[in-house]
Amino acid sequence: MRVWLFFLILCVCTGLIVGDKEKIEDDANRKRILEQLTRTRTVLLDDYHLVTRQIATDVYMFRSYRTVSVVFYPIMRDVTDARFTFQSEELHLNNIGSCSPQEVIINIKHGSYPAVNPDGYDFPKDFLDPATREPLYTLEVQSDGKNRTYSIENPKPGNWYALIYIKWEDPRTQKVEQEGLVADCQTILYTDLQVKRDENIELIDCYNGITEINYHDLPGLFKCMSTDRVDPIALNVTIVNTSAGDSELFFRVQALSIPTEDSNVIYCAFDPRANNYQTITFIPHPNAWHYIHIGPIEGNVSRIADCESYFMRTDIDELVNHTVIDLMRDDKGRFFTFDYGLPTTDIQDATSLINITSSEIKSLRFKINQFLDIGGSLSIAASLLMSLKYYMGYKRAFDKETLLAFTEDNQFFKAVICMDIGHPSIPLESGHCRYNDKVKPALFVLNSTDSESIYDKTYIPFPDSGTWYLTFRIFCDQSVCPCRTSDNGTKYYVDTSSDRDIDDSVVASNGTRLGTSECNATVVLTVSSMSCVSGKCSNHGNCLLNTFGALVMSFCSCASGYGGSNLLFFSFPGWDCSDSSRMDSKVYMLVSVLLLTLSNILFIFSIYVAVIRLYYTEAMMYAFTMIFSTFYHACDAPSQVAYCIMRGNILQFGDFYCGLMSFWVTLLAMSILNEKLRSSLQLIGAIIIALLTTWNMHSFVSFLLPVAVGISVVFSSWYLDYRKNRVMKYPRSYYFKHMPLGIVLVSVGLICYAFLQTEQNYKIVHSVWHMIIALSVGFLLPDIKRAAKCESCIFFYSYFIDIVVAKCDCCARGFGFDSRSEVGDTPIHRRACKCRSYV
């Protein structure tokens, strides 16, 4: 007894020491690579300043926004070049195999987290087109320990964010790797930022202009601060000593950052020899720094606009009646949850009624705070306020061969709504927005003549920090006819296709009536922010939060099949969990779940074999294994077919724990031990396996340690029994036929479980694992207990009654009777018998 306890304690301590040794080696490897990264010295170029660095950022395969890493870079004003340095390396955490370099993707964006979809799913239809937002810079590096640099010329000042992850791979093609059997690799990243600033920027007054610029001093860079107004700036420029040069000059203006050929508010050219005095008019960013760059032109001048065209600008007249209104923020006290609206005392109403006429432009502005507001999704919805008859479902009236509108005064108009960050744009009748020389599509175009276009909505994931402007303008139709026509694409008319009461001859006449040049409208506006998309994930996922130091973002973790993958047992990304394009049919999912659950029925065979062979403790363990495995796989299934009797993590623990205990009690049943020692070892194993399962149920050590100790107990007990009795305890058929078959079955099952499983074939291979392990019990459990019990009963009966009674009793228990096996000299032994088990 003491020998066995000492042996068991020695095995457990050995396993723990091995685990501690692996942990020490892992820590040493990590420390070594961290020291290597710490010793990394980025070459600091002349005139560059090191702003920030992160020595070791863990990088993971993209599975959702839970597995991405975010790095924050602050950039100050007057920067002409921002150089990002990246060095990625593989951290080998065990001594198994080797680590291959991974492809690391880095998305860099100004103002907020990059909104990307590496898994190839489309953004939902109501999402704002990413192409209309701040540019996204993408860099791909290998985790081979080499430095990579990436430069951004004249970046905007403020906060930049890098989203870092290992390139997405379809999980259906990946193997299910068991921890402890393959190389344990962790990708880490070193990154830093160094910037170059221009210290020779001359400070000027935007509203007084630049006077007496010497041609010899060009190119020159100037900056000025605009006031908090949307009024245009007329900047006067005077060049002196023009005879010293023989080329034209360019004139560029940009807000917040130094202008370039591709990034500017105004870009024009003039000849100072013909006219050294220029007045250039442009619309500024309110309350922002503006940078003016003037210098000689190299190359073709014809591609650049003439600065003379910016002196008397007709488009500036449209800003005569332009007003700006600040919206009120209404916080809700939860992450990323707030509304913006016109100031009101009504705490229940988050909508704003915007009254506007055709002779004015209105801009509403609100602020998205950095860090606090950028992790959710911003929702903007707008609708025209129509007549009561429209909401009651009435058709449009037809009067004097002309359809009447849906509005109270039967006005025909359209509202154009523009959205910008940092400045307002001018809505155009064509449904576009103009800001100086830049023209882009409007956010919304609402048409009073079309019931399908009086309302529109959009979502902006991870909105950019800054001041947002929503600009409203309405345009009246000058003429109206009862048919759909166009006036060079600028007029919207009534579509009568759904009005069945109108005479076709009247429609075909294409008669028109004069519209009106003056109109007014009321636009209902809602601006709100919530986590994920409207605070939920389309009822097919959970809205979760991910943190990176002080940074927080919300994301959707979708139910299997929605928005990320058609796998059964894993959660994957999706912006709102509404995309079911890759989801399997419900029948397929049901068949898969039935395979995994019903394959456990074969454990009934194990229970039956254990009971008839008098292994009652083992039979109960197999029964619990069958129950937990069945209900765990039924719960860990797509929500469409899942059935949970309790929390999934409890069922998962029960499945792993009972599975390991089944191996343990089976190995103890195979060993030659007395009942007291076997009971003690079962209890000790139950406690240790519970600790191992709680520590890490997926670790190979959690499986290997109890199985290795159990196998050691089996062979040690066999050896000690043979050395004592000089005879094998079990029948010859067990050693040479049944046990080898059981070992082969277990080996095949373990190979399937550890090496052959992929995400795609999981349901089949894992079901085969269930069935193989259940069948192997019938071959591994030695049939010795009932043979011993039958022999005892024969000795008892032979002492009191006739041998025939003993023979009948023995055969009734399923044994054969061998009357020739007489042993001993006593009368009892001469009438004794031995029973042979039909194993």
pLDDT classification of 463: cutoffs 50, 70, 90: very high
Residues 779 and 797 in one domain: no
The listed range with the strongest mean pLDDT (73-82, 498-507, 514-523, 796-805) is 73-82
The dihedral over CA atoms of 692, 695, 698, 704, expressed in degrees to the nearest 10, equals: -30
Query: Which string of DSSP letters, residue by residue, matches 128-181?
Result: PPGGGSS--EEEEEESSS-EEEEEEESPPSEEEEEEEEEPP--GGGSB-PPBTT
* Mean pLDDT over each residue of the chain, to the nearest integer: 79
d(Cα 148, Cα 191) in Å, to the nearest integer?
Answer: 9
Same domain? For 390 and 473 the reply is yes
One domain for residues 594 and 710: yes
Q: What is the mean pLDDT of residues 769-778?
A: 90
Q: Best-predicted range by mean pLDDT among 211-220, 310-319, 359-368, 505-514?
A: 359-368
For residue 39, the surrounding DSSP H or E stretch is none
pLDDT tens figures, 175-223: 666 666 677 788 999 999 999 999 889 999 888 888 788 888 888 999 9
pLDDT per residue over 684-722, tens digit each?
A: 999 999 999 988 887 777 888 888 999 999 999 999 988
pLDDT(663) > 70: yes
Distance CA 455, CA 443 (A): 12
CA 548 to chain centre: 14
665 in any annotated domain: yes
Q: What angle do CA 677, 681, 687 make, to 5 degrees?
A: 150
Higher-confidence position of 8 and 228: 228
Non-local (6+) Cβ contacts of 534 within 8 A are 377, 379
SS3 414: strand
Q: Do 571 and 557 contact (CB within 8 A), yes or no?
A: yes
Whether 714 is in a domain gets the answer: yes
748 neighbors 55 (Cβ within 8 angstroms): no
DSSP per residue, 529-579:
EESTBTTB-TTSEEEEEEEETTEEEEEEEEPTTSSS---SS--EE-SSS--
**Rounded Cα distance, 379 and 756, in Å:** 46
CB within 8 A of 590, min separation 6: which ones?
641
Rounded distance between C-alpha atoms, residue 13 and residue 23, angstroms: 15
Residue that is written with structure tokens 């081979």 in the block: 144
In this structure, how many other beta carbons lie within 10 angstroms of the beta carbon of residue 719?
11
Q: How far apart are CA 833 and CA 815, in angstroms?
A: 12
The answer to whether position 215 is within a domain reads: yes
Per-position b or e across 749-764, b if 16+ CB within 10 A of its CB: bbebbbebbebbebbb
Q: Give mean pLDDT, residues 350-363.
A: 88
- The number of residues making up the chain comes to 839
Which residues, other chains included, contact 605 with Cβ-Cβ below 8 Å and sequence gap of 6+?
Answer: 774, 775, 777, 778
Distances (CA, A) of 571 to 170, 558, 566: 13, 6, 10
Domain CATH for 702: 1.20.1070
Clarify whether residues 827 and 774 are in a common domain: no
What pTM does this model have?
0.76
- Which among 265, 287, 319 is the end of a domain? 319
Instruction: Show which of 253, 288, 319 is a domain's final residue.
Output: 319
* Top-confidence residue, 264 or 389: 264
Which of residues 832 and 215 earns the better pLDDT score?
215
Residue 159 within a domain: yes
243 belongs to a structural domain: yes
Q: Is residue 379 part of a domain?
A: yes
Shortest CA distance to 266 belongs to which of 296, 311, 229? 311
From CA 361, how far away is CA 228, in angstroms rounded?
17
Total domains in the chain come to 5
Weakest-pLDDT range from 186-200, 434-448, 558-572: 558-572
Residue 25 is assigned to a structural domain of this protein: yes
> Quick one: 681 and 775 in the same domain?
yes
Residue 509 confidence (pLDDT): 42
Enumerate the β-bridge partners of residue 834: 818
| Contacts with 574 (C-beta within 8 Å, 6 or more apart), sequence order | 121, 537, 541, 556, 558, 562, 563, 564
How confident is the model at residue 761, as a pLDDT? 78
Kindly report, residue by residue over 278-312, the tens digit of the pLDDT.
888 899 999 999 999 999 888 777 788 888 888 76
Q: Which two tokens stand for residue 710?
A: 């159990």
- Are both 173 and 77 inside the same structural domain? yes
Instruction: Decide if 567 is inside a domain.
Output: no
| Whole-number Å distance between alpha carbons of 695 and 665 | 21
Whether 389 and 500 share a structural domain = yes
Question: 304, 319, 334 — which closes off a domain?
Answer: 319
Q: How far apart are CA 303 and CA 712, in angstroms?
A: 84
Query: What is the distance between the alpha carbons of residues 446 and 417, in angstroms, rounded to a whole number?
Result: 8
Statement to judge: residues 105 and 137 lie in one domain: yes
Let me know whether 125 and 272 are in one domain: no
Decide: 535 and 337 in contact? Cβ < 8 Å. Answer: yes
CB 665 within 8 A of CB 707: no
More confident residue, 561 or 54: 54
Are 757 and 800 contained in the same domain? no
Range of the domain at 250: 202-319
User: If we measure between CA atoms, which residue out of 73, 291, 28 comes closest to residue 163?
Assistant: 73
Q: What is the CATH number of the domain that holds 137?
A: 2.60.120.680
Whole-number Å distance between alpha carbons of 637 and 19: 33
Lowest mean pLDDT among 329-343, 422-436, 452-466, 504-518: 504-518
- Closest by CA to 213, choosing from 274, 277, 259, 257, is 277
Asked if residues 548 and 164 have their Cβ atoms less than 8 Å apart, the reply is: no
Q: Which residues contact 99 (CB under 8 A, 6 or more apart)?
A: 90, 91, 92, 183, 185
Whether 206 and 191 share a structural domain = no
Is 169 in the same domain as 218? no
Higher pLDDT, 129 or 4: 129
